Amino acid sequence: MRIVFLGPPGAGKGTQAALLSERFSTPSIATGDILRRHVAQGTPLGLQVGPIMDRGELVSDGLTIELISDRLAEPDARLGFILDGYPRTVNQAIALEELLAEIDAKLDRVIKFAVRTAQIVERLAGRRVCPACKTVYHFVTHPPIVEGVCDNDGAALLLREDDREEAIVRRLEVYGADTRPLYEFYLSRGLLIEIDAIGTTSEVTARLDAALEQ
Ligand code: ADP
Ligand code: AMP
C-alpha cells in the first residue's frame, strides 16, 4: 500500500507509522527524520536546513521533493510506503503524483489524524527522542523504563529544538497556512480518510486499521 499520513505536528503520525511499518513490512519514510540525519551529520544540506527547522519553518519544496524522489527510488519503497511529514504543501503533493505516475502508480489512502491544539501542545512538549535509534517517547504517555534513557540502547533522550514553545506556535501557524490546503486536495481525489487521533495509541491504531480496510 502507498499511504500518506497527514496531520499537525504532534498528532501521533510517527508513532503510528512505526507500528504500521512493522505490521505491513513497509518502510515508513519521514522527511523530518531524513533532514534531522543531515543536521546531525553536519552535511552541507544539514547546515542549510538546521536553523530553518529549529524555527519551525518549512524547508523549500525543491529540496524536499529531491529528497523524496531519491528515497522513493530505493528498492524497499517500490511496492509501498508510509509517508509521514511529506507532502506538506500542494506543490509537494503534485510532485508526488508526478513521481508515482512515472512508475504507473497511485496513492491508495491519505489518512488525516485529527487532534485538538491542546493535545498537540501536550504531546509535543512531552516528546523525547532517542538520538541514536530515533525511538519516540513521551514522558507521561510513553515513558522509558528508566527516566531520560532509551530502552533500546541506553542513550540519553533529547527534547527536539522545535518542540520548544516558540517553535511549536510557529509550526502550527505554518501547518494551518501551507499544509491544511492538502485536505481539500486529497478530498477532491477521493483519497482522504479522517481518523480521531485522540485516545491511547492502541485506540488510534484500531481506528487506523479500520480506515485502511475501508
Ligand atoms: P508526529 O509524528 O505526528 O509529530 P509523534 O508520533 O512524534 O507525532 O507523537 C508526538 C508525541 O505524542 C510523542 O511524544 C508520542 O510519544 C506521543 N503520542 C503519540 N501518540 C499518542 C497517543 N495516542 N496518546 C498519547 N500520546 C501519544
Ligand atoms: P517533522 O519531523 O515532520 O515534524 O519535521 C520537522 C521539520 O522538518 C519541519 O518543521 C520542517 O522544518 C522540516 N520538514 C520535514 N518535512 C518537510 C517537508 N515535507 N517540507 C518542508 N519541510 C519539511
pLDDT of residue 150: 98
In which band, very low, low, confident or very high, does the pLDDT at 4 lie, cut at 50, 70 and 90? very high
Note whether residue 17 is domain-resident: yes
Q: Which ligand is nearest the CA of 83, by number?
A: 2
pLDDT in tens, 162-193: 999 999 999 999 999 999 999 999 999 999 99
What distance in angstroms lies between residue 104's CA and the mean position of ligand 1's atoms? 34
Catalytic residues: 13, 88, 127, 160, 171
CATH number for position 63: 3.40.50.300
In which band, very low, low, confident or very high, does the pLDDT at 108 lie, cut at 50, 70 and 90? very high
Note whether residue 64 is domain-resident: yes
Note whether residue 142 is domain-resident: no
pLDDT of residue 211: 97
In which band, very low, low, confident or very high, does the pLDDT at 126 lie, cut at 50, 70 and 90? very high
Note whether residue 132 is domain-resident: no
Note whether residue 101 is domain-resident: yes
CA-nearest residue for atom 13, ligand 1, is 127
Note whether residue 40 is domain-resident: yes
In which band, very low, low, confident or very high, does the pLDDT at 85 lie, cut at 50, 70 and 90? very high
Note whether residue 37 is domain-resident: yes
All 3 cell numbers of residue 52? 530553518
Out of 58, 70, 72, mutate this one to test ligand 2's pocket (max ligand atoms within 8 Å of CB): namely 58
Out of 117, 142, 168, mutate this one to test ligand 1's pocket (max ligand atoms within 8 Å of CB): namely 142
Q: Which protein residues touch ligand 1 with a CB less than 6 Å away?
A: 7, 9-15, 123, 126-127, 136-138, 141-142, 199-201, 204
Note whether residue 74 is domain-resident: yes
All 3 cell numbers of residue 71? 528515497
Q: How many domains does the chain have?
A: 1
Specify the long-range contacts of residues 165-170, CB closer than 8 Å, at least 24 apart: 165/125, 166/56, 167/54, 167/55, 167/56, 168/9, 168/10, 168/56, 168/120, 168/121, 168/124, 168/125, 169/56, 170/55, 170/56, 170/57
Q: Which ligand is nearest the CA of 160, by number?
A: 2
Q: Which protein residues touch ligand 2 with a CB less than 6 Å away?
A: 9, 30-32, 35, 52-53, 56-59, 64, 85-86, 88, 92, 162, 171
Residue at grid coordinates 506538506: 88
Range of the domain at 203: 2-115+178-213
**Percent of the chain clearing pLDDT 70 (strictly above):** 100
pLDDT of residue 44: 97
d(CA 170, CA 54): 10
